[in-house]
Amino acid sequence: MPTLTASVPKAQDLARLSVADRLEVMDELWASLRSEADSLHVPGWHNAEIERRLAAMAADGNCGRPADEVRADLKRKL
């Protein structure tokens, strides 16, 4: 597996980007992990938190909003 540490921007370099550009970098990073999701270890407390949140959602009936709608709202505010 190649190491790209030297080419990974540091926090101070990323801070020079606009918020929209930093969000785009985050989207790209998450997309790069998607194909390897099955190989990532998920700590037990993550699953417990998911179960807690699902139970809370079922109890109050609030299913939230679609992620695309939330992203669009956030991008309009940038």
* 3-state secondary structure string across the chain: CCCCHHHCCCHHHHCCCCHHHHHHHHHHHHHHHHCCHHHCCCCHHHHHHHHHHHHHHHHHCCCCCCHHHHHHHHHHHC
Q: Do 11 and 66 touch, CB atoms closer than 8 A?
A: no
Please give the pLDDT value at position 4.
60
Q: Is the pLDDT of residue 10 over 70?
A: yes
Express each pLDDT in 17-70 by its tens digit: 999 999 999 999 999 988 888 888 899 999 999 999 999 989 998 888 999 999
Residue type, 12: Q
Which pair of tokens denotes residue 66?
């679609």
Query: Which residue carries 């540091």 as its tokens?
Result: 10
